[in-house]
Amino acid sequence: MHKIKLRRIDFGGIFLYLFLTVFGLLMLLPLIYMAVTALKPTSELFLFPPRFFVVNPTLINFRDLLLITGTSAVPFSRFIFNSIIVTSGIVLGGVVISAMAAYPLAKHNMPFRSFIFNMIVAALMFSPLVLQIPQYLLISRSGLMNTYWAMILPYLAAPMGMFLMTQFLRQLPDALLEAARIDGASEWRVFWVIVMPMLKPAIATFALFSFISAWNDPYPSMVYTTVQEMKTLPLAIQTISGGVGVVARVGTLAAASFLMIIPTILVFVITQRMVLQTMAHSGLKE
Amino acid sequence: MSSEIIVPAESGHPGLPAAEPGKWARLWSEIKKNKVSYYFLAPFLILFTIFTIVPIIMSVVLSFSYYNIIETPRFIGFSNYKLLFVDDDIFLQAVGITLKFAFITGPVGYILAFLLAWLISQIPQRFRFFYTLCFYLPSITSAVAMSVVWLYFFAGDRKGLLNHWLIQLGILNEPYLFLQNVDSIVPVIIIVSLWMNMGVGFLAFLAGLQNVPGDLYEAGSIDGIKYRWQQLWYITVPSVKPQLLFGAVMQVVSSLTVFDVSMRLVGFPSPLYAGHTIMAHLFDYAFTRFEMGYASAIAVLLFFLMFGLNRLIFRVLGRD
């Protein structure tokens, strides 16, 4: 009797693993294909019949990528540099500003608290993309076009960051804060010395989301910049591809795309444990 | 608690000014006492006001005007909205495509994300990371970067991987133009979007599912729950409801703003506008034709569509 039961559980378990593994690998296939294409020499790129895997891997595509200067003599490294500046500006600035907002919203009890919180949470319910036109007008009127500020400032006050950090902070005990206040620490000091370290998982989570969206978003540099040397990676890749639908330079393009995806994967692998810890508190209630 | 004091004071402002001076004075002293809290909030609130609240008001105002950036905006009443719904066939087509897209990717992506998260939560902790990675990685890639793969996969000649396989299997006789054919454009966008759609909701589900207290399941089995699906429906789903709500909101927002994928795969504007979404229409009028008033009307409609749908979801799912 006992034996039969054991066998049945095993059966379901095997099926579960089989399903997850097959489906999971299927999901990874396009990414694997990209990596493989980036390693293909020209002779293998345009084979007929098409071949999935690479036979003679080479790094020539990556070398080409760093050597091509695009259509306007801007080296590829410049785009990488721009992306790094803009993304780190958004992530670092966004983390500090959101954490500063989350602290009083979670731990202080001042007038308008729930009004402010509800207002910002309401902003989660629509995409900032619909605000692109007035944001563009504001940026262009204030003379910020073609600066890093234009690509950073509109994205700093992220409702998602405030929301995740406030929810996370709410379920942490007040005892430490009280102890520090009794010792005579100012609120500013309490924030940096006690709140920020406690918030670490929420910060990692928001940093991941904010990094991914900032790094991948082509809109800011599409809308707020008009000169080549201020463009960021997503737009540069578009330029390399030579427009929509053109399949020339597949190898170089795959190498560029591959380089662009690597950082997001690394950030996820580093933060994933803390992310799950935070997302458990991400629930919305009426 | 504090909000209970504020709300009446705020809503009934000039009506009874002399009646309750104490209330205002008390509020003001409360605010002064808590001024440090407001200092902390200031950077966020200032940026939020400039880049979110002001733009919302500007959008609404601009949507009633004719504005082409060069001339000053001219008030034209409801003309933009009338034009959108009566004369702009392409807009109506874009609404149709967006809704068709949203009604498939929204629910399918959402349910898939939840089921996968649930299956992953059934296996031992040490194996979970690998599967989480498999399912989450596609959604952290960018549409722009992945287009190199999809363009090749769906390519319309014999070198396209999908065409090659279908011909080998004998399903097709000649290559099918997946990215140019009006009938296949939306399905292709849907498939690619589903692939990169797990996103924030998936992580929220995964985290929520890990924290469902184990004794709930024990209690359930005492009450006669035998099968896994019963456990799922009667215990798991109710305990992760807040995460489900959060995931639904995220899903609505992302399904209604598809544009990247369509732009990268089938071009902008797409053949016969077959992949033209509301977002694409907005972008077209705003940043290629610079008809900001008209584009603002589209933005306002999209805004209310998202907001309204999310309020509806709250009504339906948020009830206890």
How is residue B240 written in tokens?
């992760």
Query: What is the residue-wise DSSP string for A139-176?
Result: HHHTT-TTSHHHHHGGGTS-HHHHHHHHHHHHTS-SHH
Place of tokens 């006789």: B173
Model confidence band, residue B48 (pLDDT cutoffs 50, 70, 90): very high
Spatial separation of the C-alpha atoms in residues A46 and A249, rounded to whole Å: 10
Lowest mean pLDDT among A14-23, A43-52, B90-99, B179-188: A43-52
Point out the least confidently predicted range of A22-31, A202-211, A277-286: A277-286
pLDDT higher than threshold 70 for residue B284: yes
Nearest residue, CB atoms, B58 vs list A120, A134, A159? A134
Interchain pair A110, B2: CB under 8 A: yes
Q: What secondary structure letter does DSSP report for B74?
A: E
Share of residues in chain B with pLDDT > 90 (%)? 32
Report the C-alpha dihedral over residues A98, A104, A110, A116, rounded to 10 degrees: 20
pTM of this prediction? 0.86
What number is the average pLDDT over the span B8-28?
61
pLDDT band at A71 (very low <50, low <70, confident <90, very high): low
Q: pLDDT value at position B5?
A: 38
B302 touches chain A (CB under 8 A): yes
- pLDDT value at position B97? 92
| Among A170, A167, A191, A166, residue whose Cα is nearest residue A180 | A191
> What local confidence, expressed as pLDDT, does residue A4 receive?
46
State the nearest Cα–Cα gap between B317 and chain A, in angstroms.
Answer: 9
Q: Band of the pLDDT at A106, cuts 50, 70, 90?
A: very high
Confidence of residue B15 (pLDDT cuts 50, 70, 90): very low
The predicted structure's pLDDT at residue A16? 86
Beta bridge partners of B74: B66
Residue A192 in this model has a pLDDT that exceeds 90: yes
Average pLDDT, chain B: 85
> Residue A216 is inside which H or E element, if any?
helix A200-216
Closest chain A residue to B293, measured at CA: A133
Q: Is the pLDDT of residue A159 over 50?
A: yes
Which pLDDT belongs to residue A2? 45
> Please, which pLDDT band fits residue B4 given cuts at 50, 70 and 90?
very low
Under a CB-based contact definition with an 8 Å cutoff, are residues B47 and A157 in contact? Answer: yes
What pLDDT does residue A234 have?
87
Residue A274 pLDDT > 90: no
Q: In which band, very low, low, confident or very high, does the pLDDT at A70 lie, cut at 50, 70 and 90? A: low
pLDDT recorded at residue B80: 93
Say whether A111 and B5 touch across the interface (CB within 8 A).
Answer: yes
ipTM: 0.88
- Please tell me if residue B320 touches chain A, with a CB cutoff of 8 Å: yes
Are B144 and A237 contacting, i.e. CB atoms less than 8 angstroms apart?
yes
pLDDT at A279: 83
Q: Does B238 touch chain A (CB under 8 A)?
A: no
Confidence class for position B14, pLDDT limits 50, 70, 90: very low
A158 vs chain B: nearest CA distance in angstroms?
8
Q: What is the pLDDT of residue A228?
A: 83
- Sheet strands (E) in B62-198: 65-66, 74-75
Mean pLDDT confidence for B174-198: 87
CB atoms within 10 A of CB B60: 15
Tokens of B182: 């009006």
> Which residues, in sequence order, are bridge partners of residue B66?
B74
Vertex B161, ends B155 and B146: CA angle to 5°? 65
